[in-house]
Amino acid sequence: MNTRKIARGFALNFFRTVGLFFAFIAILQFQDHFVGYAFVSLGISAVTLYLSFRGVFRNKKPL
Confidence grade of residue 61 (pLDDT, cut at 50, 70, 90): low
Q: Which residue has the higher pLDDT, 7 or 59?
A: 7
Confidence grade of residue 2 (pLDDT, cut at 50, 70, 90): confident
Q: What is the pLDDT of residues 15-48, one digit of tens each?
A: 899 999 999 999 999 999 999 999 999 999 999 9
Question: By the 8 A CB rule, do 16 and 53 touch?
Answer: yes
CA distances from 30 to 16, 34, 40 (A): 21, 6, 11
Q: Which residue has the higher pLDDT, 43 or 63?
A: 43
